[in-house]
Structure formats: C-alpha cells, structure tokens
Amino acid sequence: MKAKILLLFLVTGIISGAMGQNTIDLNFTAIDNAAYVQLDSIRIMNRTQVGETIIYWPDTTLLLEISPGDLLLYVGYATFSTVGILELNDDISSFTVYQNYPNPMGDRSEVSIYIPHSGKVHMVITDLQGKVVLRTDRQLDEGLHTFRFHPGGGDLYFFTACWKGISRSIRMVSTGPMNGKSCRLDYMGSKAGEAVLKNSLQANDLIVRQSGILDSPEESQTYTFQFATNIPCPGMPTVEYEGQVYNTIQVFSQCWLKENLNVGTMISGSLSQSNNGTIEKYCYNNVPDSCTKYGGLYQWNEMMQYSIQHGVMGICPPGWHLPTDEEYKVLEGSVDSQYGIGDPEWDLSNEYRGYDAGTNLKTTSGWFENGNGTDLFGFSSLPGGAYYDDNYFGDVGAYGGWWTSSESDNWLAWPHWLSYTDPGLNRDILPKEDGFSVRCIRDN
C-alpha cells in the first residue's frame, strides 16, 4: 500500500485599505509534516474583475490590489507527489531528467534524459493550467538523450518523463514572445555514458498537481492548500446529521460530503415544497427507497431555506454550506486531466465541458449503457435523475444533477449535470421549481 503524505502550503494575506481598494501582502511558505519543502508557484485569479497574477518560487511576497467584495481564486501548483522516501536500486535512482538549459528560455531550450536501460519513455508537457500541450512516446537506448523544446504562447511549462513506471519532472519558464505557435519537442541525439547525478527521491505518479481555494478576503487570512485526495477529510471522516451518517471525501483543498444529502420529510411529487418550517424532499417516483439510494431531490428555494445568499448553509449540516457555482468549477478543474482550475472552459454553459472530469467523478457502476466512471477521486456521483415541476420524475440512471447556491434571477439558478453519454460535465440555468440532488461542502 502506498503511503499518503498530506502536503500543505500556507498563504497569509495582510490587507490594508487605500482609496476604496485593498492591498494584499501575500507571504507563503510550504510544509510537509512540519518539514520544509519547496513550493512551485501560486496563481491568484480575480474572478470578479477578471485579472490574474502569478508568484513563482523562490519569491515569497506579492502585492495585489483588489476592491472590496472581489472573489479571489488561489491556485497552488506542485510538480511532485511525494509518496515516500525509499531505498532505491542503482537502476531506478539513476533515471534522470535534467533541468532544461537555458531556463528561463527564449524561443528554445534543451532538455536531457538519462535512462540506465533501453525502453519506452513517455513524455508529457503541460501548461500552468494543467492542460496537456504535448504528449509523445519514444523508444530510447541506454544513455543520455537530448531534446530541444520550442515553447508556444505560455510562460510556464512542466515537463514529465516516465520510464518503467518511474516519473521525473522539471519546471520550464519561458520569456519568449507570445507567438501563438504550437509547442514542439525535437529529438537531438544521444550518447552512451552514466548519469552525472542520481536522484534519491522515489516519486511515483510524479505529475503537476494543483489545488484551489476561493475567498473574498476582508482581513488577514491563513490559507492551507491541500494536495491530498481520495481520502476522508482529515479530522472529520464522517458527519452525523438528522439521524444519518455521511462519509466525507477530500478533493485537494475541498472537503465534501461523499453522499447526496438525504434530509427532511418526503412529500408527493404532486405538491410543491414550501416554506413551512419543515425540510421537505422528493424521492424519485415517490418511492422512499429511492432517497436511500440516491438522496433526496430538492427544489432550489427549499434547499436554500428561502435565502438567496450564495454559499448559505441551507439544508446542510452546521459547519457546511451549499456549494456555489464557482466552487463546483474549482472541483471540476481539480479532477480534469486536461483543463485545470480557473480555465475558461469551466465558464462555458449549456454544453458539456472538460475532457474527463465527469468520468472521474462518476461511480464505477449504476449508469446506463456502461456509461460508468472511474471514481478516481472518490466523489462517487450517482445518476439520481431529477424532478420536473409538472409532477414528472425522469432520467434516473442516465443523468445526475446537483444544485448550486448561485441563482441567475428570481426564477432560475445554476445546477451542474453529469450524463452517462459524456465524459465531461454540463452547467446550465434551469427553473428553481425543478428538483435536483444536493451535495454539501465544508466551510473554510
């Protein structure tokens, strides 16, 4: 069994007001079980004013001006996933990816790889958002091999090479012109010989990982980026609420309930849920066992307990709240292999977005026509169907819909959808009278 190490980044914001704006002095460090480790970069995106800033290691401070109420998205990046320090044999430890030169680069840079025995090397280059910009396999002989990399329009890339299940990764910074060209990796040749350096860190599944936190800072804050996933939320593996026990699941910096909420008194689909002091729910096809399997279906106002505040507690347990549209976007970017947190892909609507986020969030069984998922992050989304406001239940087994606490207007709000036919996810504006499933996310 692989050991799991929780990697934390701490970010402290010192905020002072000036002419209607706030200046944030961000200071950060990185810890791993109380031991110092190197952090790669933090990206700060202003989701209200549509601007962004990146701070790279070894820089540790950043001044950023924001207006009161601005929603900031902090994205922390790490180019490693530590699973343990092991005693390595010479063959494995000598597999090396050397830092590119020059770095930072202009229009080109050279990368060298040493492999102790011949074999296939899988190489992936991703950009800052985690999107794969180049992927190639090459059969290489023993020795040192050199590649020439030509960057595209990005300013930061991560190069990862995998040989015999062992991965190595480097960060490459580009200062060249934004020419809009595609990235290119050319093979320059090889020479026999031994590696000059040896790695002492066994890093299985060494890839770029990213973790996101949303906040509208009004005072100094400490933010903890978590890179653990597919484990119960640290310190809170379960939650007891209204006579039921819910499991929790950590997805990077977000802690979610692992099951759909099933709280309240069942009423017939022929009735509307009302503000009567009692939480009411629909069970699919008016069958109570459906709520046991899929959770309840709730109209938006009932879920919100008749508030219109984004991120309100609503029908969630104390210490938890109803996720916003932005929080679902962070979840989707966290689990997709192509489009990272904050990518414009997640702002699209009325169409399926992403590459495989839906597949990674769905359960491994229960979906129509083998439309099952991998449940890669333990989120375990089920196809609970929906209630439609004309006393009609539909789509169980084929679709799952989850309300957000973000409304569009007095009549419409934003749910997110999964389908048995698509590996991505949909978000759309639908009537508040429809009934969808509900997940809760833990307060910061």
> pLDDT tens digits for 122-144?
898 988 777 888 888 899 998 88
260 vs 89, 244, 380, 390, CA distance in Å? 47, 12, 9, 23
* DSSP structural state of residue 232: P
- pLDDT by residue (tens digit) across 139-157? 999 888 989 998 987 788 8
Pick the CATH number of 7-77+208-227 from 2.60.40, 2.30.30, 1.10.3470, 1.10.10: 2.60.40
Note whether 7-77+208-227 and 90-191 share their fold: yes
| Two tokens, residue 278 | 């009692």
CA 379 – CA 400 distance, rounded (Å) = 13
396 vs 112, 264, 278, 368, 382, CA distance in Å? 52, 21, 26, 9, 9
- pLDDT by residue (tens digit) across 305-345? 999 999 999 999 999 999 999 999 999 999 987 788 999 99
What mean pLDDT, rounded, does the chain reach? 82
Is residue 27 within 8 A of residue 61, CB to CB? The reply is: yes
CA 413 – CA 353 distance, rounded (Å) = 18
Report the side by side order of strands in the sheet with 298-299.
298-299, 435-436, 386-388, 392-394
Q: Which CATH code fits 90-191?
A: 2.60.40.1930
- pLDDT by residue (tens digit) across 12-57? 444 444 444 555 555 555 444 444 445 577 888 999 998 888 877 6
205 band by pLDDT with thresholds 50, 70 and 90: very low
Domain boundaries, the chain: 7-77+208-227, 90-191, 260-442
